[in-house]
Amino acid sequence: MSENKTASIKEIRVKLYYVDIGNCVEIWAERKIESRRRYFGRDRCGDRLWSLVVDAPWYLREKFLCG
């Protein structure tokens, strides 16, 4: 018996946090939930893919501002 599993789509509310024009990246901050906030990156060029940014905003500043 096979079980058909599909990924559920969850809507989250984000606001634009930072734009790195040189690297064609936008950083978006999730609305704070239970005193934590996640950050997402989105390519401004090409396929405009989304990714989760770890250790943000400190890692974000090191990687995107100093990089």
Question: pTM for the whole thing?
Answer: 0.64
* Per-residue confidence band for 67, with pLDDT thresholds at 50, 70 and 90: very low
What integer pLDDT is reported at residue 41 of this predicted model? Answer: 86
Closest alpha carbon to 10 in 43, 26, 36, 33: 33
Nearest-angstrom CA–CA distance, 35 and 14: 15
pLDDT in tens, 1-46: 455 566 677 788 889 988 888 878 898 998 877 777 888 888 888 8
